[in-house]
Amino acid sequence: MRFEEGQVAVVTGAASGIGRALAAALVARGLRVVLADVEERPLAETAAALGDRTLPVVTDVADPAQVDRLAATALDRFGRVDLLVNNAGVGGGGGPAWTIPVDDWNWVWSVNVGGVVNGIRAFVPHMVEARRGHVVNIASLSGLTSPPFMAPYNATKHAVVTLSETLSAELGHLAPGVGVTVACPGMVRTRILEADRNRPAGLAERPEQPAWLVEGLNAVFAEQMRLAIEPEQAAETILVAVAEGRLHVLTHPETVAHVEGRVNALLAGLRA
């Protein structure tokens, strides 16, 4: 996809992190950007900071009706959508898979996968009809690997990767002018570890995890965050991949080794 003056992008999860950085980079490239986020005040602050080329729309991507309204708002205002960035996501509770409450499985799935599905359903028909456009789905390195004690997050991000690959194959047959990119970032300096700030009220309380596990996970995440890249760097890497028409993109080139390790183990097991 070539970025051109007058194009319109929709970015979910746009009030912070990679979403905000992508929105800023798109505005800098001359695009008009519809900003969607569930957090009203940070969304308004982001729109004010990025200027009059943006339109904020409070949206819970887990709700299909709200995403339909987002699409209708964007099309009514601008008459087109050239780029959809499905970025909104949550981390959810950590711990052994069998200890995580059903409520948390459902919440993480509804945002991380449901949000992408809702975005595809609401926006891709317009792109297919226009015979142009691009969809960016933000997955994670955890969508290509399987680190322990992150089962809901890993499962949803693997789902986003295969959903993106499937969508790309389908569009290749039915609408070759519409592209797909799935980004699999490593650790980026965002608020993903604070995702519980948006955990819906009324969900079941999480069981207390052993102190050694909590301390260990906190230490691992703290070290990873210390080495994390800035959202602006991740955003530029993703937009270069979009401009080049690439399906897959990592934000941390060195993490290819982690993916190779998983693929090699998979192949070794299948060939045994």
Angle between helices 231-244 and 17-28 (to 10 degrees): 60
Closest among 69, 71, 91 to 17, alpha carbons compared:
91
Are 157 and 139 contacting, i.e. CB atoms less than 8 angstroms apart? yes
Distances (CA, A) of 213 to 19, 148, 199, 225: 31, 11, 22, 18
Q: Tell me how far apart the terminal alpha carbons of the chain are, to the nearest angstrom.
A: 42
Phi, psi dihedrals of residue 269, rounded to the nearest 5°? -70, -40
- Find residue 180's DSSP bridge partners: 135
Q: What angle do CA 132, 133, 139 make, to 5 degrees?
A: 150
C-alpha span between 33 and 20 (Å, rounded): 11
Q: What is the DSSP letter of 176?
A: T
| Active-site position among 153, 175, 180, 183 | 153
Q: Annotate 19-52 with b (16+ C-beta within 10 A) or e (fewer).
A: bbbbbbbbbebebbbbbbbbbeebbeebbeebee
Angle between helices 17-28 and 40-50 (to 10 degrees): 20
Known catalytic membership, residue 153:
yes
Q: Which of the residues are catalytic? A: 153
